[in-house]
A and B are shown apart, each in its own frame.
Chain A
Amino acid sequence: MRARCTQVSAAVMAAALLASGCGGDGGDGTEVEVFSWWTGGGEEAGLDALIERFEEDHPDVEFVNAAVAGGSGTNAQAVLEGRLQSQDPPDSFQGHAGAELQDYIEAGYLQPLDDFFGEQGLQEAMPDQLTEQITYEGSVYSVPVNVHRSNVLWSNPGVLEEAGVEETPETLDELIEALEAVEEETDAIPMAVGAQWTVDHLLESVLLGSLGTDAYNELWEPGADWDTPEVTEALESFEQIMEHTQEESAAEDWQEASRRVSEGEAAFNIMGDWAAGYFDEVGATAGEDYEWAPSPGTDGTYMWLSDSFTLPEGAPNEDAARSWLELVSSAEGQDLFNPVKGSIPARDDTDPAAYEDSAYLSEALAEWQDGPELAGSFWHGVTVGNRWKNDVDTAVGLYLGDGDLDTLQGALHEAAQAE
């Protein structure tokens, strides 16, 4: 009896192994597998809207949503890495546009999409600086779906009034003055930050605000010189701002830091514009509980990051994958996705009416279509690859421990030389 049980269970296990090993991708164009880390909130809802439209347009193609949850994509990236290495790519996968894809491109995992950009007229539809900044050795490898802004200063009008700060700070010096006023006049936290990565995020906005767009962009050229008085000055501002952050920041993520602003526990927070979506979610009112402005010194510049879709080398259903890319790059597709996700379209010829419901989005879109200067976000993978990004993160983390600004600048300089 025992032996029979074992035989049966062995047979079941073998069948399961076979099924998992050989199931799926027929490669006959009847399905398309799209890999992403959009598994919750507005992101998932936006993706669902796209999927629905895709299935309407292509009733004969089955859409396989291969989304992996968790860790703003880090889990998904670990899974993806394994699939790409074992030559089992999905038909298309999500990735931050820009240098974050560099490793994949160098490994030969991705197909260049220059012909696709030509066919669809995307060069004309998207800002030149955007396509320039995602071009790697003369080719583009991914199709941007949306644009987020990283350099946004969120503030609480009530706290600012109490502190006697009448105008939103427009330069870093004004910001520091305002922080001091809040520190003295109120019980609120002057500048809310969260865990280490939100400090990286703050740093990029401070660098941009202090150095200006061109000098900021040049910092991320391999071998760039970080050992300059200008960078020192920027880092000194950064240090002064950090002096006004809350002690418990390491135990909080960006949501808590942003929530402190909308609930009047903090005066300022520098966070990407996904905070607008979060404020909606927690029921905060724009203009009353929170206000926004470009982070000090960065007016007229969009520090952008973007989600994009790729076409892997050896995608089993390439034609269907191209249809998917066609949808996500079209004005119609972007207007379906972005209002729900809480971002603005990467194209600058879409319909503003789709974004009217959100005060933030409609303003952001108007600014985007107005043709701002563009600077790539380093933390969100636009300007630097994973190694450099991680070196900066480590340097910032060590600085949070020892507070030594010279060491920080030295480490940042070294990280730039290592590329």
Chain B
Amino acid sequence: MSPHTAQAGAGTEVRPRTPGRLHRIRVRSRTWLPGLLMVTPSILLIGVFVYGMIGWNTSLALSDQHAPVQDGSFVGLTNFAELWQESRWPAAVGNAVVFTVVFVGGALVLGWFLGLMLDKGLRGEAAFRTLFLAPMAVSFIATGVVWRWLMNPAPAERATGLNALFVQFDLEFLVNDWWTAPNMGMAAMALPAIWQLSGYIMALFLAGFRGVSEELREAARVDGCSEWGVYRHVVMPQLRPVTLSAVIILGHMSLKVFDLIIAIAGQQIVADVPAVYMWTTVFEVRDPAKGATIASYLLIAVAVFVIPYLVWTIRKERSEGR
């Protein structure tokens, strides 16, 4: 969102005036005018294409317009309540929760661990950093295609992918159903996402580790702190902001996950999540009101992650006097 609006804002601001004219206007007008002009296009664009659309979506979700051509009337929160009475929606929410917990937890732990390794001065740090970060450059669709093959759920006698590897090394007890397991399959679905994002989390943590000054660590060591104790009591407490950012970034990605699921499972109930359900509802069933309701739930779920982050950022900026 922000890169596009920023570009559009800069483009329309500079285009109509030559620098000389802009200068004269600036001299004549009050100091706030240029600033206002600068942000007006992006305020308008964001107003229409973000908040306007959210408003439209919300009004659709509160209506009974269940076919594209029919007119809807206001029905309050009926759609929001009805979703919970069917079997598919709670299952999709359950899947999203399992996915989010495993993905956020897994990427945090792995990212933190990789960051720690590099901070401890691993030989060839630059190479490892690039290596761990590289999966970030791959799209979820490409990741999904590869992991769909890796996580093939065929039993030992027909095994391919990782299952075949397990069979090869006489680890047949590890052969499993992966994402096709009815209840906890979504935990396996989180593996590709962890693989893809843990490098990024590593970079966040590494920056965090490096941000803790050597004097502080030295002081702790002088006071007789063990190396583990230095991390436990000195470094980690200062990483809270980094951890929070990481949780928010991973959390909101995870709740609206769509492309990874489509690449691995397609539209199947076993791997159904709210975003896939929404797509089916809007484009296949063609039920605008129900689709908008699911979209609203997604927005609320993401907001639960993003709003505390915004509040925290604003507070921090205030306290730092910016």
Contact = CB atoms under 8 A, between A and B. Distances in A.
Interface of A: 2-3, 6-7, 9-10, 74, 77-78, 81, 85, 103, 106-108, 187, 195-197, 246-248, 250-251, 253, 265, 386-387, 390, 394, 397-398, 400-402, 407, 411
Contacts of A85: 68
B180 A10 contact: no
B157 A187 contact: yes
B68 A3 contact: no
Interface string B86-122: 0110010000000000000000000000000000000
10 contacts: A6-B15, A74-B284, A187-B157, A196-B266, A196-B270, A247-B177, A386-B284, A387-B287, A397-B270, A411-B87
Given A106-B69, A187-B157, A74 B283 contact: yes
B162 to A, nearest CB: 12
Given A387-B287, A397-B268, A398-B88, A248 B180 contact: yes
B154 interface: yes
A247 B286 CA distance: 33
B180 A3 contact: no
Contacts of A78: 283
Interface in B130-159: 148, 151-155, 157-158
Interface of B: 10-12, 14-15, 18-19, 67-69, 87-88, 91, 148, 151-155, 157-158, 177, 180, 182, 265-270, 272, 280, 283-287
Contacts of B158: 246, 248, 265
Given A103-B67, A108-B69, A250 B283 contact: no
A81 B152 CA distance: 35
B182 A397 contact: no
A10 B11 CA distance: 7
Contacts of B182: 400-402
A385 B18 CA distance: 59
Residues of B contacting A: mostly: loop
A163 B68 CA distance: 53
Given A103-B68, A248-B154, A401-B182, A386 B286 contact: yes
Given A3-B15, A107-B68, A247-B177, 20 more contacts: A2-B14, A6-B10, A10-B11, A10-B12, A10-B15, A81-B286, A85-B68, A107-B67, A187-B157, A195-B265, A196-B269, A246-B158, A247-B154, A247-B180, A248-B152, A248-B153, A250-B265, A397-B269, A400-B269, A402-B182
Residues of A contacting B: mostly: helix
B164 to A, nearest CB: 12
A81 B67 CA distance: 12
A346 B69 CA distance: 32
B87 A398 contact: yes
Please provide the 6 A-B residue pairs with the shortest distance between their CB atoms, ordered closest to farther: A397-B269, A248-B154, A107-B69, A401-B182, A196-B268, A250-B180
B269 A103 contact: no
B179 to A, nearest CB: 8
B295 to A, nearest CB: 16
Given A187-B157, A247-B153, A386 B285 contact: yes
Contacts of A400: 182, 269-270
Given A3-B14, A10-B11, A248 B155 contact: yes
Contacts of B157: 187
A237 B151 CA distance: 31
A3 B11 contact: no
A382 B178 CA distance: 35
Contacts of A407: 87
Nearest to B268: A196
B269 A390 contact: no
Nearest to B69: A107
B69 A251 contact: no
B87 to A, nearest CB: 6
A390 B280 contact: yes
Given A10-B11, A250-B180, A398-B88, A3 B269 contact: no
Contacts of B15: 3, 6-7, 10
Contacts of B69: 106-108
Contacts of A107: 67-69
A375 B10 CA distance: 61
Contact of A251 (B10, B18, B153): B153
Nearest to B267: A196
A275 to B, nearest CB: 19
A398 B153 contact: no
A365 to B, nearest CB: 32
Given A3-B18, A187-B157, A387-B285, A250 B68 contact: no
Nearest to B183: A401
Nearest to B269: A397
A246 B153 CA distance: 10
A412 B264 CA distance: 27
Given A248-B158, A250-B153, A250-B180, A394 B269 contact: yes
B153 A401 contact: no
